[in-house]
A and B are shown apart, each in its own frame.
Chain A
Amino acid sequence: MCFWVIYNQMVVDVDEPQDQALDELFHALADPTRRDILRRCVAGEPSVSRLAAAYPMSFAAVQKHVAVLERAGLVTKERRGREQLVRTDAGAVDRARRALEELEATWRGRVDRMSDLLAEGTEPKTRNSTTKGTG
């Protein structure tokens, strides 16, 4: 499978936000508890109460950490029944659309490379070519 573009884009997204967003991002990631919360959210979709149970601090304190991550755009909260789930991405539709976009980008790259390969074979060999001038 070849979806490595996703990785690169994600890193770019993290590396180059606007100034204020960058401040919020660094602030959000500067705290070890918040980094740990983020890891848990990446691995699943924990509820705020499940997160609160994982740390020796109050529910309100954990809620505050989640709010900081939310402001930085790293997580979103979604109410499900009596629980608030913390997720790392906006929504299922966006994720599905993004998958197709990544796949499209992958295949556009492939077709470009196929074209280049096909063109290679039809260009005059360099020893016969005096116009291109490259050896």
Chain B
Amino acid sequence: MRYRLLATMIALAIGASQPLWAQKPAGPQAAAEGPQKTTAPYAAPRTAWGDPDLEGVYTFATLTPFQRPAALAGKDRLSEAEEKALEEQLKKKQEENIATNEHFSYNALWFASDQGRPTGRTSIIVDPEDGRLPPLTEYGKKLREQMQAHAATKRIGKDVVVDTWEDLSTYNQCIGRAMPRVTQEYNQGAEILQTPGYVTIFYESMHDVRVIPLDGRPHLDSNIRQWNGDSRGHWEGDTLVVDWTNFTDKEKSDGSAPFGGFPQGNLHVTERFRRVNTNTLLTLVTVEDPTIWTRPFTYELPWRADDPTYRGPDDLFEYACHEGNYRMMEDDITAAKAVRAAQSGKK
């Protein structure tokens, strides 16, 4: 099957001890060392004005979990056979979900077409080496306790109560979806457009646009905070390096980025985008917030252009989230009142 071959290609491409872009390109030096078995590294095509061409429509869907499961501790990669087994296991689970959850509002049919493929690794996180998020600082632990304590006040038995719109995540309020985007459940399409001096990323989810100037201008003043932060880019060889800051503390890393639901006010993200073959941008994303994690962490996520769900820009449909949210809000808050009334009735 074509896609299995691609998954293998990605596994091989990132099989070297260094990430692909850290390897020196083959050049006169390599030739002087004599004939080599390896093929020349992929040379990315160029835009009309000479920048590396990252344009295209992609999905960042993947079957690989963000953190390495405890059962796979110490194991960096899956073999091809293990990958195939994982895909089949997930496919079977998905079919079971569809069969048993037909009346559930978000059954697996929602996610059927947009689940991506495994990357070949056992986790999306590649640093720390154990494939897990780094330990929290004392403050990070305190924050987590506070968040858990607050969440406990919104649970009655099995029910999670939404007393007011602020009890929902910013995602479910349709204010925004946290950045950087890692695997979500659906609508993981994105498009990259390039013009001289800018790279623009359009995310289908929340119809968000990031405009990344390449001219070296400074970031917005640190007093200006945005849900999607502020991005500045430059080229290092064929790699686009983006410095991402100015996130608002009001946005929490829940919803899409599974970093544990922490506020993003001190977040600093460095993204690296590099085209490694016709259909793949490999992104390497370093996330740091020294107030929350004891060290930065890095994850590697392919953006793929060969998914049948996202063949072109007309596969990126308008994501009118808030426009469709009224009933959900009404149902959630009304139900919460009923649950609380039932609880106080029981007492």
Q: Do A and B bind each other?
A: no
| Residues of chain A at the chain B interface (Cβ within 8 Å) | none
| Residues of chain B at the chain A interface (Cβ within 8 Å) | none
